[in-house]
Structure 1
Amino acid sequence: MQIKVQTGDISAFKADAVVVNLFEGVASPGGGTGAVDEAMGGAIGDLIAAGDIRGKFGEFTLIHTLGRLPSPRVIVAGLGKPAEFTIDKVRTLSADLGRYLRRQRLRNTAIIAHGAGLAGLPAEECAAAIAEGTLLGLYRFLRHKKPPEDEVEPESLTIVEFDGAKLAALERGVERGRVLAEATNACRDMANEPANYLTPEQMAARAEAIAAETGLECEVHGPDWLREKGMGGVLGVAQGSVQEPRFIVLRYEGAAGARPVALVGKGITFDTGGISIKPASGMEEMKGDMSGGAAVIAAMGAIARLRPRVNVIGIVPATENMPSGSAIKPGDVLRTMAGKTIEVVNTDAEGRLILADGLAYARQQGAAAIVDVATLTGAISTALGNVAMGAMTNDAGLLERVKRAAAAAGERLWELPMWDDYKDFIRSDFADMKNSGGRLAGSITAAMLLREFVEDTPWVHLDIAGVDNYDRDKGVIVKGASGIPVRTLVHLALQSAETAATK
């Protein structure tokens, strides 16, 4: 979809529809909405007085202009209560509006910059949220399915701004919002892809393609390299599958000589559970067990497009977890790259085994900070539902930075404790640790194992198993893969660059 900005009067713009807005409780519209109302002879005001337009958040009212405007339709979007209207509400409204335009079969639409007028929000941030929300809300994965033959897809959205002084800020915002949304949708594409179309090798090929498009450095390593590095965690999980593992490394250099921020993502392209096999019901969703790795790859592409002055390395160990005669078994002991051993008591706790090697590699590469992303535990869904990521850390300062990045992205997270008492849950009689501490505090004990491989490097673990996939559309969330936390990771890189610039 094309999103552009131009100066002008929204009431004089010709499109399939123009979209204006209204806060709840407003009886007499002003700004762009007031200009359209005046051109229509007070029709919007009359509908407000009649109670047909209330300004409730997410309310859309379509009015036919009957020749009084160049555009045949006006849509009044409800903004809700002024005190509750935020940039995140702009993003949500734009996503809902995008799907509404699709249902109304409208190809070309003009809008005013929601929030940048009477609400007083920064114009650039509003434009970014409009672009993000629209592109995220319109996303669908139709690669293997024909769309309805009579459907009309929105083609263009023009933000019409009366004040020419805001034009440059709006254009910057649209470009940033587009980059963030396209990266999120690239992550969604990978996570929605059936596992027979996205093997570890094919996931690596996606990373190589993104690197070629954006100028990232990309390395893809196979089994021989993994053996040379002693990555027994990745090799152990991979040995049950006929698909060879891949270890994907993406590098972005925006600050010569600086230590990088490392993003490490779990890339299990299909998870049966291995010998500790999962129930058949719902197993098809395990094609998305590489969502953390997909988020890292997509975020790296966006970072390269936005060019912040920071160094970032993206690391994705990718493999399947399959049962077979060669698969790891409960009771096996694996030796990781760090030289630490792990007793495998549950082969379905495989993500932490491959992340152990990924984290050790990030540390070897001199990372100043590490953030790992993984659909790691079902326990996080029990704790937080599908509302927030779980966050665990060894460094309060880094977690605060990640929280700020998540807030900027409109993606929620909640911290869980990492008290040393939890380490007792993963003690093993036969190895340095075991890969599962049982049902109690499952998300925390999984993170306790990961902590063993970052040593003293500042680190945050994001468990996204509750928010990686949804069963319905809601705001920027669409049915299927969510693309969380791509935008959080990108904002972290942008904020890291800003912090470095002020020192």
Structure 2
Amino acid sequence: MLTAHQTPAIALTTKSSRDIETDLLIFPVFEGDTLTDEADLDGASGGEVASARTRGELKGTAFDLFFTSVRGWKASRVALVGVGSRKDLSPDRLRRAATAGALAARQRCLTNIAIVHRPGTDVTAQEAAQVLTEGVILANFDGASYRTTDPPRVWLDTVQLRVGGEPAAVERAVERGRVLGECTNLSRTLSNEPSNALTPRVFAERATAIATDAGLTLEILDETRIAELKMGLLLGVARGSQEPPRVVVLRHEPKKAAGIGSARGPTSPVLGLVGKGITFDAGGISIKPAENMDKMKDDMSGGAAVLCAMAAISRLQAPVRCVAVIPMTENMPGGRALKPGDVLTSAEGKTVEVLNTDAEGRLVLGDAVWYARQLGATHLVDVATLTGACAVALGKTTTGLFGTPDSWVEQVRRASERAGDRSWQLPVFDDYKELFKSEIADFGNTGGRAGGAITGALFIKEFTGDLPWVHMDIAGTAWAEDAKPYQPKGATGVGVRTLAELALDVEAWAKL
């Protein structure tokens, strides 16, 4: 695996703006901003700031950038990053602005930066410390490159943050942001890897290293153990590949866990996370079109998100027991491959008619969700690049959420909002089950084009045992087709911070 990210040294400062010594001093600016709290800046810039505002070059529009040199200050230069309306400033917009400013610094070969959180907004000092830290770490990332002619990468070395607030609380927020940023970058790195460099066995080896480093308990199920558990859905998908499947099981046992005292008894909740780990999806016998098939290396992004979220959960000592199950395989059209019309039996004993071998993600998740239940999960979340239908419905900016009860879905949605992973709930009415009925098995693995994202989610629901469950369909959000000021092209790491935020906020949902 190539080195695709580094973590800069991050320190808090209370110095005045003119006394912060750095290559680039970054200020967020609002629409119509007169920068009255930084009255010396215009003079230090030789009037360039006021002139740019008059010329319309400095509007404060979200993620617009304006650079100027300054005289009499210890900073070499200043960047003003637009964040839009002051009243609408959110932690996520501040996170993205930090990423945009830090990426611009790297593009200019500047390795030492400082960011000032300005007063007069609803974003608290702790929120600012966390999201600014996340933002600069997310900027210190590059996609995988195997080109031999690439110049050496320029990384941020040091970052100073001036956010105010109570020092101890702000330091904790910085550490939280550091871990969440690092684990998001780790997930992005895994998803960007070509599939010949990240086979199921290699993915399991990487999981071992990540789990060991994070202090997680890990177990790897090989094909013999998978067969003993009668995971017929996973084994069916794996048949077409020369690469044997793996199932990675991770456990987090906190020093102190929250109690729930609900109808299930005075026990502690166990958060069960399941991630789709298809390291390459050719579609099987129902083969995909050649165009864009190369992108199917990212079909393990749900598995990467769950793996790296578990690492963050352990490193931050989230006060909830967690178990994660990540089924890993390829979906290939080999001579032994699953065929349309075949019937498979799941580990739970339910039978499935395979109507389309390219609807394989729900098959492997069915066995994995069942296994998470056997391991004691009380609340379930699965993450998968499951359906193109979800990407059609919600585009590339929003993850689809499906689940029951609504109160559990809302907890995941709130976690995604804190994480900056936008999401939207779609229905799971029982009426949709009619679409994937089978005449020869308990149900089929696809219901056709109508409501495709919903029927995919409802298939997974068949294996949840009526536990609180949410399905996150990240088919549209796992990969950025075009670079943005705050996001390079490639894997996004979506889901990592959402799952970690959910675990860290266990007291909000422990009694559901």
TM-score when normalising by structure 1: 0.93
Alignment of 1:359-438 (within 5 A): 359-438=369-448
1:261 and 1:311 in contact (8 A); partners too: yes
2:24 and 2:77 in contact (8 A); partners too: yes
1:310 and 1:497 in contact (8 A); partners too: no
1:216–1:4 CA distance, 2 compared to 1 (3 A): same
Q: Deviations over 1:209-231 (max 9, x none)?
A: 11111110000011111111110
- Look up the match of 1:103: 107
**Corresponding residue to 2:58 among 53, 58, 63:** 53
- Look up the match of 1:132: 134
2:144 and 2:193 in contact (8 A); partners too: no
Alignment of 1:7-406 (within 5 A): 7-27=14-34, 29-31=35-37, 33-37=38-42, 44-45=49-50, 47-48=52-53, 51-66=56-71, 68-113=72-117, 115=118, 117-146=119-148, 148-149=150-151, 152-160=154-162, 163=164, 166-254=166-254, 255=256, 258-406=268-416
Q: Deviations over 1:437-477 (max 9, x none)?
A: 11111111111211111121111111111111111222543
User: Which amino acid is the alignment partner of residue 271 of structure 2?
Assistant: V
CA distance in 2, matches of 1:453, 1:82: 46
CA distance in 2, matches of 1:437, 1:9: 62
Is 356-365 or 165-174 further displaced after alignment?
Answer: 165-174
1:278–1:112 CA distance, 2 compared to 1 (3 A): same
1:475–1:403 CA distance, 2 compared to 1 (3 A): farther
Percent same amino acid among aligned pairs?
42
User: Which amino acid is the alignment partner of residue 101 of structure 1?
Assistant: A
1:80–1:420 CA distance, 2 compared to 1 (3 A): closer
Q: Does 1:3 align with 2:10?
A: yes
Is 206-215 or 13-22 further displaced after alignment?
Answer: 13-22
2:411 and 2:509 in contact (8 A); partners too: no
1:249 match: secondary structure? strand
CA distance in 1, matches of 2:45, 2:198: 53
2:416 match: secondary structure? helix
CA distance in 2, matches of 1:415, 1:40: 48
Q: Does 1:487 align with 2:493?
A: no
Shift of residue 207 of structure 1? 1.1
1:40–1:450 CA distance, 2 compared to 1 (3 A): closer
1:7 and 1:167 in contact (8 A); partners too: no
CA distance in 1, matches of 2:106, 2:454: 43
CA distance in 2, matches of 1:277, 1:46: 59
Shift of residue 434 of structure 1? 0.9
1:345 and 1:435 in contact (8 A); partners too: yes
Could you tell me which runs of 5 or more consecutive residues in structure 2 were left unpaired when the two chains were aligned. 1-7, 258-266
1:87 and 1:121 in contact (8 A); partners too: yes
1:111 match: secondary structure? strand
Shift of residue 338 of structure 1? 0.3
User: Which amino acid is the alignment partner of residue 179 of structure 2?
Assistant: V
1:54–1:202 CA distance, 2 compared to 1 (3 A): same
2:90 and 2:122 in contact (8 A); partners too: no
1:427 and 1:433 in contact (8 A); partners too: yes
Shift of residue 406 of structure 1? 0.8
1:84 match: secondary structure? coil
User: Which amino acid is the alignment partner of residue 61 of structure 1?
Assistant: F
Shift of residue 399 of structure 1? 0.3
2:44 and 2:70 in contact (8 A); partners too: no
CA distance in 2, matches of 1:376, 1:225: 26
CA distance in 2, matches of 1:341, 1:202: 31
1:403 and 1:413 in contact (8 A); partners too: yes
User: Which amino acid is the alignment partner of residue 250 of structure 2?
Assistant: L
1:10 and 1:160 in contact (8 A); partners too: no
CA distance in 1, matches of 2:132, 2:496: 17
1:80 match: secondary structure? coil
Q: Deviations over 1:159-187 (max 9, x none)?
A: 135x5x54333322221111111111111
Could you tell me which runs of 5 or more consecutive residues in structure 1 were left unpaired when the two chains were aligned. none
1:63 and 1:73 in contact (8 A); partners too: yes
